[in-house]
Copies of this chain bind each other. A is one copy, B any other.
Amino acid sequence: MTVTIINIGDELLIGQVVNTNASTMSRLLTEAGMEVTRTVVVGDVYKDIWVAVDEAMSESDAVLVTGGLGPTKDDITKKLLCEYFDSELVESEMALENVKRIFTARGYELTPVNRAQALVPQCCEVLNNDLGTAPCMWFSRGERVTVKGESKKVLVSLPGVPFEMEWLMRNRVIPKLQQTFHTDIIINKNILVQGIGESFLSDLIEPWELSLPENIKLAYLPVAGMVKLRLTARLAGDFPLSTFHFPLEGLYALAGQYIIGEDCETLDELVHKTLTERGKTLATAESCTGGNIARLLTAQAGASSYFRGGVIAYSNEVKECAIGVKHSTLEAHGAVSEETVREMVEGVRERLGADYAIATTGIAGPTGGTAEKPVGTVWIAVADATHTVTQLMHYGDRRQQTIDRTTNQAYSMLIKLLNVSA
């Protein structure tokens, strides 16, 4: 079955907000075996929303709409859907109870603006939104017939607040879609590749790629100095899953030396998983990455089991006083040098009592470079009790890119060290 996603909001069209709702919804639907064929963003403009809804209703089995349900003046979705489905606004008892429950829990008084959130088109079914006051509305048109011969056509309107939307998708919308439509089984597999560019990788693995069966698709996703290969298999709903496996032997034979891990979306996830499984601890000393290496790990639940802590050694004084880099080392070699990064990684590992450590120091730019050490010069180190590995990288003058690439390079070096130690 096919799905179109429509996200409504002027803030998306003027680029003030990144549309993470589309990617969250797409991921959840894909994992549930549904095929998102299109996502559309339109502004808070009646005609534009109407056209998008109408196109989508004629093209897809299900249409999911977010946004435009808040209590403020720029929200018009509900009135439009009422007209589109030839219905009228009525107060939903279920939605009103929900609004009251949430206001009582927060200790607020119910204002008329908030009470109006319980108004919904009479023809829809309300799916209860446990986390917020905006209702989730399910519309179905049994009479329409799609090209696939399915006799159902569904539109679901969800609030645009990301955590409410995600909770509703997981707990209300996807289960109901799965009951309503037949769905394929979709299996994804990620292979994380590091140390080779996209086009060289493509040449290298072409014979394997050409040998893949019709129902397996391969995509290249380059991100910050790494390429994620994504394999997607589409299987019939009654396929015996235990007999399926991706044909990876050919890939490993051709490019095994560049493969750093499987089954993770990102290298931080792979580091998190590996350290958790091994029961080993980590400390970080970050200069040019400014805390990015630590925050990606600590954003994951359970990081406290392995992450001891870190130092963001932005100034030389902090490098000296907090992690014991010698004043003479900084004087003789500078903050961006192999000697300094080595003392950083060994110092932070020892002082914070961790099994492993990561350190970075570099010139993220766009200014601060010299002829000898241009912007983009970065030293990275990883260490355990007996090994210290350092590496010099030359990135360009794009600050965020240098931070992101340094972060991934450091994770990748740590994983290699973990594999050596294992």
Contacts and interface: CB of A to CB of B under 8 A. Distances in A.
A16 B26 CA distance: 8
Grouping DSSP codes into helix (H, G, I), strand (E, B) and loop, the A interface class, with mixed when no group exceeds half, is mixed
A14 interface: yes
Contact of A313 (B291, B303, B309): B309
Contact of A23 (B17, B25, B70): B17
Given A37-B13, A39-B41, A298-B312, A71 B317 contact: no
A312 B311 contact: yes
Interface stretch (A142-150, A213-221, A412-420): A213-221
A352 interface: yes
Contact of A299 (B220, B294, B399): B399
A111 B203 contact: yes
A30 B14 contact: yes
Interface string A359-395: 0000001111000000000000000000000000000
Given A11-B221, A199-B71, A353 B299 contact: no
B309 A367 contact: no
A269 interface: no
A24 interface: yes
A15 interface: yes
This protein's copies in its complex: 2
Interface centre among A22, A24, A190, A209 (most CB of B within 10 A): A22
Contact of A16 (B55, B202, B221, B286): B221
B284 A312 contact: yes
B14 A232 contact: yes
A27 B228 CA distance: 28
Contacts of A318: 308-309, 352
Contact of A19 (B19, B322, B400): B19
A163 interface: yes
Interface string A84-112: 00000000000000000000000010010
Contacts of A263: none
Interface string A291-304: 11111011101011
A39 B40 contact: yes
Which bracket fits the contact residues of A? 35 or more
Given A23-B12, A290-B298, A311 B314 contact: no
Contacts of A202: 71-73, 113
A114 to B, nearest CB: 6
B14 A26 contact: yes
A11 B43 CA distance: 24
Interface string A205-233: 00001000000011111110000101010
A321 interface: yes
A83 interface: no
A52 interface: yes
Interface string A189-205: 01000000011101100
Given A38-B48, A294-B312, A309-B322, 20 more contacts: A12-B39, A13-B38, A15-B25, A15-B28, A17-B221, A17-B223, A22-B41, A37-B45, A70-B198, A72-B220, A113-B203, A290-B294, A290-B303, A292-B295, A307-B315, A309-B313, A309-B314, A309-B317, A311-B311, A322-B351
Interface of A: 10-20, 22-30, 36-45, 48, 52, 55, 70-74, 108, 111, 113-114, 161, 163, 188, 190, 198-200, 202-203, 209, 217-223, 228, 230, 232, 265, 284, 286, 289-295, 297-299, 301, 303-304, 307-315, 317-318, 321-322, 351-353, 365-368, 398-401, 403
8 contacts: A10-B219, A14-B230, A16-B228, A17-B223, A304-B368, A310-B312, A310-B314, A311-B312
- Lowest 5 A-B CB distances belong to which pairs? A290-B298, A15-B27, A291-B291, A15-B26, A309-B318
